[in-house]
């Protein structure tokens, strides 16, 4: 425990508030469980109660959900390649993040849910896995967790760090505590200069904040993607127009169906690939498409769409990048509602023209770069998205220009992985 009496007071107040809220965490798990049954499972991990004996995992990586796991993937793959002797434990918070970890690395890494930021749970987690290095992705700033690492002498880094203006305002409610928690970090590796500046405003030590770029630019394109696309086209039909509605949310699903209805008025054989953001929506969107009168296939049931299918639901995780490559145009969801958008670099790397709605605050810098490069069209609403999709499906030259610009921007942005690996090298366990 640090000797700062002010820190001690704030930590105690914060922890007491969390303990008072424990019944709400249980209610939250139950409520989410009715929507996604995986939330009913593995509650012991949420409170750091483990059936197995303690075993050391020298490197701990935390990535809250699917997007952060995807950002962490280049880093984890590099660590496994360069230091195969190091056992890794990867934590997530969501079941979808957990499933993504398993789909990428199977049993070659340890995976558990991150416990709630209760002092007892944090202590049990750190004592069980005994990490010697903590690598936290993006914006997961849990005070007791950071203090727990410092008190045990565990070097902690926040990598691929991003902090929106909205998040900055939210964290300022705990400003005195957050400032002290950020001082425990060895380094904050920020995605951009703007992110770095916001971390400084929150209380990060300026000398420990570095702009390294976004790990998502180091996205890997599958070696067999051309074979994947060829198999898709052989089954679905080589000459059909194909578009993808990716990472859509509940409130965007009606809009996605309206877009498809509009496009099929122009080209009746148009195929829609549909990848809902959350697995609990897989069945619902398939049923919605059936009720709309379309013939529907799914990845799990049929593997590929055939020439008579109208909608193909991608009800698996880990394959979105390959399916982006199968589509001529992509609508990336989370952008018609104030959710803030989702990863735009994945379709850019896959060579797909991209259209979004206006709400992109979680990826504002990347969106601005893609838009300025001519690789992204940002529409004002669902009707405008539909019009952009139609225009791009009509104009092969415009699509080609956008895909070339997107791939060039991704290639120019690569390098965050090398810079990140260099930053953490001094603290990698020997």
252-262 tens-digit pLDDT: 999 999 999 99
Cα 3 to chain centroid distance, Å, stands at 37
For the chain, the average pLDDT equals 94
With a cut of 90, say whether residue 374 has pLDDT above it. Answer: yes
CA distances from 104 to 45, 232, 241 (A): 21, 22, 31
Mean pLDDT is lowest, of 30-34, 155-159, 309-313, 355-359, for: 30-34
184-229 tens-digit pLDDT: 999 999 999 999 999 999 999 999 999 999 998 998 888 899 999 9
Tracing tokens 């897989």 back to the chain, one arrives at: 282
Identify the pLDDT of residue 2.
67
Percentage, residues of the chain above pLDDT 90: 80
225-413 CATH choice from 3.40.47.10, 3.30.56.10, 3.40.50.300, 3.40.50.2000: 3.40.50.2000
307-338 tens-digit pLDDT: 999 999 999 988 999 999 999 999 999 999 99
With a cut of 60, say whether residue 1 has pLDDT above it. Answer: no
Identify the pLDDT of residue 189.
97
Phi, then psi, of 149 in degrees rounded to 5: -65, -45
CATH class of 43-213+415-427: alpha beta
Identify the pLDDT of residue 359.
96
- 54 burial class (0-12, 13-18, 19+ CB within 10 angstroms)? exposed
Element (DSSP H or E) covering residue 247: strand 242-248
Q: Choose among 59, 55, 85: nearest CA to 72.
A: 59
Q: Where are the domains of the chain?
A: 43-213+415-427, 225-413
Fold agreement (43-213+415-427, 225-413): yes
Identify the pLDDT of residue 222.
85
What token pair was written down for 368?
């601005």
- How would you classify residue 340: left for phi > 0, otherwise alpha for psi between -120 and 50, otherwise beta? left
What token pair was written down for 373?
């490069």
395-423 tens-digit pLDDT: 999 999 999 999 999 999 999 999 999 99
Q: Are strands 242-248 and 271-276 parallel, antiparallel or unpaired?
A: parallel
Identify the pLDDT of residue 193.
93
3-class DSSP assignment, residue 268: coil
Identify the pLDDT of residue 211.
96
Exactly one of 7, 68, 140, 252 is catalytic; name it.
Answer: 68
Whole-angstrom Cα distance, residue 368 to residue 358? 11
List, as one string, the DSSP characters of 322-343: HHHHH-SEEEESSSSSTT----
Query: Quick one: average pLDDT of 376-390?
Result: 98
Mean pLDDT is lowest, of 88-102, 379-393, 413-427, for: 88-102
Whole-angstrom Cα distance, residue 120 to residue 48? 8
Q: Which ranges in 152-306 belong to alpha helices (H)?
A: 165-171, 175-182, 193-202, 225-236, 253-266, 282-291, 299-302
Phi, then psi, of 161 in degrees rounded to 5: -70, 135
Whether the full predicted model's pTM is greater than 0.75, yes or no, is yes
Active site residue 291: no
Identify the pLDDT of residue 279.
85
With a cut of 60, say whether residue 272 has pLDDT above it. Answer: yes
């Amino acid at each position: 425990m640090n000797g700062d009496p002010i820190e001690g007071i704030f930590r105690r107040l914060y922890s007491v508030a969390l303990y008072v809220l424990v019944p709400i965490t249980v209610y939250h798990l139950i409520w989410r469980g009715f929507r996604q049954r995986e939330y009913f499972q593995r509650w012991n991990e949420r409170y750091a109660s483990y059936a197995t004996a303690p075993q050391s995992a020298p490197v701990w990586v935390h990535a809250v959900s699917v997007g952060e796991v995807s950002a962490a993937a280049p880093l984890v793959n590099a660590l496994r390649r360069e230091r195969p002797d190091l056992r890794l434990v990867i934590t997530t918070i969501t079941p979808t993040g957990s499933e993504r970890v398993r789909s990428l690395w199977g049993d070659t890494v340890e995976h558990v849910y991150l416990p709630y930021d209760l002092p007892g749970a944090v202590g049990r987690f750190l004592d069980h896995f005994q990490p010697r290095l903590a690598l936290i992705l993006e914006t997961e700033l849990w005070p007791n967790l950071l203090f727990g690492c410092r008190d045990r002498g565990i070097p902690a880094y926040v990598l691929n760090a991003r902090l929106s203006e909205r998040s900055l305002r939210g964290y300022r409610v705990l400003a005195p505590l957050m400032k002290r928690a950020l001082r425990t970090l060895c380094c904050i590796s920020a995605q951009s200069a703007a992110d770095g500046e916001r971390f400084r405003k929150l209380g990060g030590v300026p000398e420990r904040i570095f702009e390294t770029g976004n790990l998502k630019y180091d996205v890997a394109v599958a070696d067999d993607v051309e074979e994947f696309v060829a198999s898709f086209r052989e089954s679905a039909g080589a000459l059909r127009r194909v578009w993808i509605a990716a990472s859509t949310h509940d409130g965007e699903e009606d809009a996605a169906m309206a877009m498809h209805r509009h496009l099929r008025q122009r080209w009746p054989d148009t195929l829609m690939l549909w990848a809902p953001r959350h697995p609990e929506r897989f069945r619902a969107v398939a049923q919605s498409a059936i009720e709309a009168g379309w013939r529907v296939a799914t990845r799990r049931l049929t593997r590929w769409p055939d020439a008579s299918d109208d909608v193909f639901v991608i009800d698996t995780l880990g394959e979105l990048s390959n399916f982006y490559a199968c589509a001529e145009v992509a609508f990336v969801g989370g952008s018609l509602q104030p959710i803030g958008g989702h990863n735009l670099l994945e379709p850019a790397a896959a060579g797909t023209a991209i259209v979004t709605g206006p709400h992109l605050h979680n990826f504002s810098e990347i969106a601005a770069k893609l838009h300025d490069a001519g690789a992204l069209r940002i529409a004002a609403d669902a009707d405008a998205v539909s019009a952009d999709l139609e225009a791009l499906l009509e104009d092969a030259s415009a699509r080609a220009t956008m895909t070339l610009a997107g791939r060039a921007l991704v290639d120019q942005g690569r390098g965050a992985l090398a810079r990140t690996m260099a930053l953490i090298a001094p603290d990698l366990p020997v």
